[in-house]
Amino acid sequence: MTSHLKHSIFPILSKLAGELDVQVYAIGGFVRDIFLSRPGNDVDIVVIGNGIAFAEEVAKKLKVKLSVFKNFGTASLKYRDIEVEFVGARRESYRMDSRKPIVENGTLEDDQNRRDFTINALAISLHPDTCGQLLDPFNGIADLEQRLIRTPLEAVETFSDDPLRMMRAVRFATQLNFKIDDSAVQAIKNNVDRIGIISQERITGELNKIILSAKPSIGFNYLFDTGLLHKIFPQMTALYGVEYINGKGHKDNFYHTLQVLDNICETTDDLWLRWAAILHDIAKPATRRFEPAHGWTFHGHEDKGARMVPKIFAQLKLPLNEKVKFVQKMVLLHLRPIVLAQSIVTDSAVRRLLFDAGEDIESLMLLCNADITTKNEYKIKKYRQNFDLVQQKLKDVEERDQMRNWQPPVSGIDIMELFGIREGREVGIIKNQIREAILEGEIPNSRDAAINYTILKGAEIGLKVVAKD
């Protein structure tokens, strides 16, 4: 195993462990990722004894700054391109009302027992006498080969002690495309109410990691099937199911949403665009209606969905800044390019879309392309061709009219100075008329044209141009 410990810090750690006669081990994700051939820059080091004292000796040797967290019994340092965290081997016990453990000094066995999953309990000795020896008490290597998420101890106990591990199980299964052991799945179902003792920030942190995975639907299916999603994000579970009236049913919007999410993950790593995919149809349950002449409708779901976004962000402790505004915009506009693609594409409709989407037009088009989930190959080909036409029209109109992040060529101050009036209703009326005229293509998007149009519209409501001295 020493051949896998290629970083220059490991010989230094090994030499110090020998000099101080301390048993030291690399453990956890770094070791797991060696066997998965995934590069890792974060190393957890377990010391049998005082982890901070050993870390202080390492920092002296490397001549680097050490950050010490006495309350947690940990210390960390950065050496070249690697982050190293040191901790003494621990034994943990838990109270029912908290995920914060009572910690005592322990053996390596105790420390491996407290790990969340067998694949994260792998340890490699760094002491010179046994350097490179793998310690795998729970057959973690076999679980890696079988692509299985399994707990070292009884899953019910593991998840009850620290319910965040249920979210972590789903997250690792999603990131690694592994299966969660059947007994662990059942244990999550049995402990689902325990998620209530975990802070929303921690839950959302794991949820975001699931969303940032290559195929997030793996995780959302686990969250739904175990009941976790019902607890942490009930608005999304409301999308599930198909209702039939007179033999007519709508599509299952939960699984449609997962497909849209997976689709968009093929084209972007942007977390917030992925959130837009999750929320684009979030208001469909609230707007679902059956109309005998048309079947199932969801009129206004984009508008209601956009209004739901800030409440959901606040609930999940997601940022209430420009990120929520971006997601709102995507949800509000997500039908617009589809409508364009299904009809004759007019310049005015394209200008309005560019005006409303601004710099986010490319993101919106990615979302709309991802929203095509039909299994009908003919329909897919037709939609794609129509979207290509819309894309080209957007490019042509933007080059000609420069509508992206549009600013009016005539400002309110210009209008007041032109007619010698104060701020008021007339100024607002004329500004709106200028905007509409440019969007409809009645006048070009230029200052001279807008000034002439302003004079014309001012005259219609009795305003005269003030002569300049």
- Mark whether 130 and 179 lie in a shared domain: no
- Mark whether 99 and 138 lie in a shared domain: yes
CB atoms within 10 A of CB 145: 10
- Mark whether 51 and 62 lie in a shared domain: yes
Residue where a domain terminates, one of 212, 232, 252: 232
Contact 220, 287 (CB under 8 A): no
Full pLDDT tens readout for the chain, 469 residues: 455 677 889 999 999 999 999 999 999 999 999 999 887 889 999 999 999 999 999 999 999 999 999 888 899 999 988 999 999 988 765 565 655 655 567 889 888 988 999 999 999 999 999 999 999 999 999 999 999 999 999 999 899 889 999 999 999 999 999 999 999 999 999 999 999 999 999 999 999 999 999 999 999 999 999 999 999 999 999 999 988 888 788 889 999 999 999 999 999 999 999 999 999 999 999 999 998 888 888 999 999 999 999 999 999 999 999 999 999 999 999 998 877 766 667 778 888 888 888 889 999 999 998 998 877 788 777 777 777 878 787 877 777 766 666 678 888 898 898 888 888 888 888 888 988 888 888 888 888 998 998 899 888 888 888 876 5
The b/e string for 167-206 (b: 16+ C-beta within 10 A; e otherwise) is bbbbbbbbbbebbbbeebbebbeebbebbeebeeebbbeb
- Mark whether 30 and 82 lie in a shared domain: yes
Parallel, antiparallel or unpaired: strands 295-297 and 42-47: unpaired
Quote the distance between the C-alpha of residue 437 and its chain's center.
40
Q: Which tens digits make up the pLDDT trace of 282-297? A: 999 999 999 888 888 8
The share of the chain scoring above pLDDT 70, in percent, equals 93
Close Cβ partners of 212 (under 8 Å, ≥ 6 residues apart): 269, 271, 274
- 249 lies in some domain: no
Our count of domains for the chain comes to 3
- 159 lies in some domain: yes
Q: Which tens digits make up the pLDDT trace of 328-351? A: 999 999 998 877 766 667 778 888
- Mark whether 132 and 155 lie in a shared domain: no
How many residues can be counted in the chain?
A: 469
- Mark whether 166 and 102 lie in a shared domain: no
- Mark whether 52 and 115 lie in a shared domain: yes
454 vs 434: CA distance, rounded Å = 7
Domain range for residue 436?
A: 412-460
Q: What angle is formed at CA 366 by the lines to CA 360 and CA 367, rounded to 5 degrees?
A: 90
- Mark whether 71 and 120 lie in a shared domain: yes
Q: Where are the beta strands (DSSP E) in 12-110?
A: 24-27, 42-47, 67-69, 74-79, 82-88, 90-93, 102-105
- Mark whether 85 and 105 lie in a shared domain: yes
Stretch (H or E) spanning 223 = helix 217-226
Quote the distance between the C-alpha of residue 244 and its chain's center.
33
Residue where a domain terminates, one of 119, 146, 173: 146
Closest CA to 203 of 242, 174, 162, 238: 162
- 396 lies in some domain: no
275 vs 57: CA distance, rounded Å = 45
Residue where a domain terminates, one of 185, 217, 232: 232
Q: Which tens digits make up the pLDDT trace of 362-407? A: 999 999 989 988 777 887 777 777 778 787 878 777 777 666 666 7
Output the average pLDDT for the chain: 90
Contact 262, 278 (CB under 8 A): no
Closest CA to 301 of 223, 238, 234, 372: 238
For 193, the 3-state DSSP assignment is helix
Close Cβ partners of 14 (under 8 Å, ≥ 6 residues apart): 24, 126, 127, 128, 131
- Mark whether 51 and 137 lie in a shared domain: yes
